[in-house]
C-alpha cells in the first residue's frame, strides 16, 4: 500500500481553506488501498469528508454489506454486488445523501455559497459524491471521482436527462490496472455523463491499481485551484 505524501496533504488542506470550500472526500492522510491490500469492502469504502477553513466530516456508517454476505462494514451505502451491471441499492444511497445534505446546508448557513463547494471522493466516496451533486445539489462548483464508477442504470443518468441547468463539471481519474473497480467501468461512466451534458476531464493512470498516487493528487490540486480561485 502507498501512503499519500504528507507535504501534498498539507498543500491540499491549504487549497481548501483558501477556497472557502467544502469537499466530501476520502481523507487523503489515510493509506491508499492497493492490489493485495485490505479486503474488497475496505478498499472500496473510501468516502467523502467535509472541509472548510479546517476539517469537519461525516464518516461512513457500519451497515450490512451484501458483497460481504451481509457482514457489517464501514461503507457509505450497500451494493448488491461490486459490478456496474446490476441495480443500485438506492435506499441506502438516498439515506446517506440526506445525511450529507445536512452538512452542506450547515456550510451554506455559515455563508459559503454552493458555487464555492466541491464534492468528491475515492472509490465508493466518488460514487457518493456524484449522487449527491447530480441528483440533489446541482448548483455546486464541481465533482471529483477517483477510481469510481456508476451502475449502468444509475439514477444519476435519469436525473441528468431532466436537468434544466448546466450540471457540475467532473474531474475523474482511474488506474488502468485497477482490479476492484475496473478501468472500463470508470471510462464508461465518464462517457455516459459526457453524453448527458457534463463537462468532464478523464485521466488514465497507467499501471495504477485501486489506490491514489502523488501525480493524481497534484492534478486534482490544480483542478481545485482552477475551479475555486482564491477570493480577494
Burial of 69 (0-12, 13-18, 19+ CB in 10 A): exposed
> Other C-beta atoms within 10 Å of 129: how many?
32
pLDDT at 89: 94
∠119-114-188 over CA atoms, to 5°?
35
210 is catalytic: yes
154 is catalytic: no
Determine the average pLDDT of the residues in 124-133.
93
End-to-end CA distance of the chain: 40
61-65 and 71-75 strand pairing = antiparallel
Q: Report the alpha-carbon distance of residue 120 to residue 51 in Å, rounded.
A: 11
Q: Which pLDDT value is given to residue 7?
A: 39
C-alpha to C-alpha distance for 231 and 19, rounded to whole angstroms: 7
Higher local confidence (pLDDT), 205 or 59: 205
CA–CA dist 128, 195 (Å, integer): 20
The catalytically annotated residue of 23, 32, 73, 123 is 123
* Higher per-residue confidence, 145 vs 229: 145
pLDDT at residue 177 tops 90 = yes
Q: Per-residue pLDDT tens for 194-210?
A: 999 999 999 999 999 99
C-alpha cell belonging to residue 175: 488506474
42 vs 218, more confident: 218
pLDDT of residue 130: 96
| Angle at CA of residue 105, ends 101 and 109, nearest 5° | 175
What CA dihedral angle connects 78, 81, 82 and 84, to 10 degrees?
Answer: -100
% of residues, the chain, pLDDT over 90: 50
In terms of DSSP bridges, do strands 169-175 and 142-146 run parallel, antiparallel, or are they unpaired? parallel
pLDDT in tens, 207-228: 999 999 999 999 998 999 899 8
Q: Is the pLDDT of residue 79 over 80?
A: yes
Instruction: Report the alpha-carbon distance of residue 59 to residue 31 in Å, rounded.
Output: 16
Query: Tens digit of pLDDT for each residue in 93-118?
Result: 999 999 899 888 888 898 888 988 89
User: Is the predicted pLDDT of residue 14 greater than 50, yes or no?
Assistant: no
191-224: b (≥16 Cβ within 10 Å) or e:
ebbeebebeeebbebeebbbbbbeebbebbbebb
Q: Catalytic annotation on 57?
A: no
Which residues, 6+ apart, have CB-to-CB distance to 92 below 8 Å?
63, 77, 78
Query: Which has the closest alpha carbon to 23: 167, 141, 172?
Result: 141
Quote the pLDDT of residue 141: 92
| Structure confidence at residue 87 as a pLDDT band (50, 70, 90) | very high
The backbone torsions φ and ψ at residue 14, rounded to the nearest 5 degrees and listed phi first, read -65, -45
Per-residue confidence at 43, pLDDT binned at 50, 70, 90? very low
pLDDT for res 59: 63
Binned at pLDDT 50, 70 and 90, residue 42 comes out as very low
Amino acid at each position: 500500500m502507498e501512503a499519500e505524501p504528507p507535504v501534498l496533504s498539507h498543500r491540499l488542506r491549504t487549497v481548501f481553506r483558501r477556497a472557502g470550500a467544502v469537499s466530501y472526500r476520502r481523507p487523503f492522510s489515510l493509506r491508499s488501498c492497493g492490489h493485495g491490500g485490505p479486503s474488497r469492502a475496505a478498499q472500496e469504502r473510501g468516502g467523502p469528508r467535509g472541509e472548510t477553513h479546517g476539517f469537519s466530516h461525516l464518516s461512513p456508517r457500519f451497515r450490512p454489506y451484501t458483497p460481504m454476505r451481509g457482514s457489517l462494514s464501514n461503507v457509505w451505502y450497500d451494493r448488491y454486488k461490486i459490478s456496474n451491471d446490476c441495480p443500485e441499492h438506492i435506499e441506502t444511497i438516498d439515506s446517506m445523501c440526506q445525511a450529507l445534505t445536512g452538512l452542506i446546508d450547515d456550510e451554506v448557513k455559515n455563508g459559503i455559497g454552493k458555487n464555492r463547494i466541491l464534492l468528491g471522493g475515492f472509490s465508493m466516496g466518488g460514487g457518493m459524491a456524484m449522487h449527491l451533486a447530480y441528483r440533489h445539489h446541482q448548483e455546486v462548483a464541481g465533482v471529483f471521482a477517483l477510481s469510481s464508477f456508476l451502475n449502468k442504470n444509475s439514477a444519476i443518468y435519469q436525473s441528468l436527462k431532466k436537468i434544466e441547468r448546466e450540471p457540475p463539471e467532473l474531474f475523474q481519474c482511474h488506474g488502468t490496472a485497477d482490479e476492484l473497480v475496473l478501468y472500463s467501468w470508470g471510462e464508461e461512466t465518464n462517457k455516459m455523463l459526457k453524453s448527458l451534458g457534463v463537462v468532464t476531464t478523464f485521466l488514465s493512470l497507467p499501471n495504477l491499481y485501486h489506490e491514489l498516487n502523488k501525480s493524481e493528487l497534484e492534478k486534482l490540486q490544480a483542478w481545485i485551484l482552477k475551479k475555486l480561485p482564491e477570493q480577494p
